[in-house]
């Protein structure tokens, strides 16, 4: 794990002014409806400044609806996300999280929160921001998964792709998950806003106020997966999501709320070429060997610090479910 840069004085070049042209987009109730939504990769060349999320703290309920929902907390890998903007403060691109989850006896699944569009602003002078974005989580198998006995059998199923089946053996065939702002607001637009999810009630080990330059939060409700035109693929994808949720504590279970507090380091000048390369390195490293280029994530744990550990019998049930699927369709 390489040493991360300490906080430093914000880079020269900040001008601001975007909010003067769009005062309705400012707090206390940012209204971004008058701003154009842009493709997340369409304007990388316009990015001149960035803030890196060196402490991305995620949280979700492992038993939603229970009297004691047992909320889980996990910091994903450093520099897993960034917001990029120009000298005036207009937001142009967001790098969102990628993560790997290992299922014992089966293999590694890659998870990516793909940003499909974004709009908003950043104000370095006041350490604030408001950005709306649409996201589409994707889940697919790492190539390393075929090293396990079950993985090898699954790859024999994946080889049926030549018959027109699109099993999640690579990103462009990934399981795609729908997300919403809330249960009552079925909009696909989610919001990055000032403040912290859970406010002052966050566990001490998720508080980075003394080392970060700024922070914000966002949350999404997990919806259903997209179905395939082939029933067998949909059946398999649902099986994969069940397995993933059993081992991750229901992180992506339909109806659950996934939230994260993003703790930024100080603003710095951005290089569009480095921005593209950084995203590419993340994509390649997480897909090939489940490594994180800037350091690994922390294990999931509860508010009292106890780790979340999937029960041993879950592994047996998951392997049995995959074996039944393979036997049924081969």
Mean pLDDT, residues 253-281 = 87
Output the pLDDT for position 312.
72
Q: Are strands 49-61 and 91-95 parallel, antiparallel or unpaired?
A: unpaired
Count other C-beta atoms under 10 Å from residue 277's C-beta: 11
Per-range mean pLDDT, top range of 23-32, 72-81, 130-139: 23-32
Q: Quick check: 13 pLDDT over 50?
A: yes
> Among 113-117, 164-168, 323-327, which stretch is predicted with the lowest mean pLDDT?
164-168
Mean pLDDT, residues 40-52 = 92
Q: What DSSP string runs through 108-154?
A: EEEEEEEEEEEEEEEETTTTEEEEEEEEEEEEEE-GGGGGSHHHHHH
Q: Find the helix or strand (DSSP H, E) in which 240 lies.
A: helix 231-248
Output the pLDDT for position 36.
95
Q: How far apart are CA 292 and CA 108, in angstroms?
A: 14
pLDDT band of 120, cuts 50, 70, 90: very high
Mean pLDDT, residues 123-140 = 92
Q: Length of the chain in residues, anyone? A: 330
Q: Quick check: 2 pLDDT over 50?
A: no
Q: Quick check: 4 pLDDT over 50?
A: no
pLDDT band of 286, cuts 50, 70, 90: low
Output the pLDDT for position 234.
94
Mean pLDDT, residues 24-46 = 94
Check residues 282 and 147 and name the one with the higher pLDDT.
147
Mean pLDDT, residues 178-188 = 75
Mean pLDDT, residues 283-306 = 67
Q: Are strands 107-123 and 128-141 parallel, antiparallel or unpaired?
A: antiparallel
Output the pLDDT for position 39.
92
Mean pLDDT, the chain, as a whole number? 85
Digit-coded pLDDT (tens) for 185-243: 667 888 999 999 999 999 999 999 999 999 999 999 999 999 998 898 999 999 999 98
Furthest C-alpha separation in the chain = 64
Output the pLDDT for position 78.
85
Output the pLDDT for position 222.
92
Mean pLDDT, residues 268-295 = 65
Q: Quick check: 159 pLDDT over 90?
A: no
Check residues 240 and 104 and name the one with the higher pLDDT.
240
Output the pLDDT for position 6.
44
């Amino acid at each position: 794990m390489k040493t991360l840069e300490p906080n430093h004085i914000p880079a020269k070049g900040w001008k601001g002014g975007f909010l003067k042209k769009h005062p309705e987009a400012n707090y206390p109730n940012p209204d971004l409806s008058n701003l154009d939504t842009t493709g997340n990769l369409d304007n990388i060349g316009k990015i001149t400044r960035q803030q890196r999320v060196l402490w991305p703290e995620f949280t979700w309920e492992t038993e939603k609806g229970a009297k004691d929902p047992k909320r889980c907390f996990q910091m994903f890998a450093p520099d897993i996300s960034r917001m990029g903007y120009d000298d005036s403060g207009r937001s142009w691109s967001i790098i969102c999280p990628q993560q790997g989850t290992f299922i014992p006896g089966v293999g590694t699944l890659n998870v990516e929160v793909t940003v499909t569009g974004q709009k908003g602003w950043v104000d370095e002078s006041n350490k604030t921001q408001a950005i709306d974005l649409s996201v589409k989580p994707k889940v697919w198998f790492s190539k390393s998964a075929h090293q396990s006995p079950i993985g090898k059998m699954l790859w024999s199923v994946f080889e049926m792709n030549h018959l027109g089946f699109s099993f999640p053996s690579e990103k462009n065939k990934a399981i795609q998950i729908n997300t919403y702002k809330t249960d009552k607001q079925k909009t696909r637009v989610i919001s990055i806003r000032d403040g912290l999810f859970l406010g002052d009630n966050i566990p001490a080990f998720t508080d980075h106020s003394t080392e970060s330059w700024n922070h914000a939060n966002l949350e999404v409700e997990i919806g259903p997966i997209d179905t395939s035109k082939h029933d067998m693929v949909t059946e398999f994808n649902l099986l994969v999501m069940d397995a993933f949720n059993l081992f991750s504590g229901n992180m992506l279970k339909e109806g659950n709320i996934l939230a994260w507090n993003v703790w930024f380091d100080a603003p710095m000048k951005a290089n569009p070429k480095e921005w593209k390369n950084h995203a590419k390195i993340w994509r390649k490293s997480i897909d090939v060997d489940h490594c994180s280029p800037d350091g690994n994530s922390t294990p999931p744990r509860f508010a009292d610090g106890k780790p979340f550990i999937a029960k041993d019998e879950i592994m047996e049930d998951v392997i049995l479910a995959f074996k039944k699927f393979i036997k049924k369709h081969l």
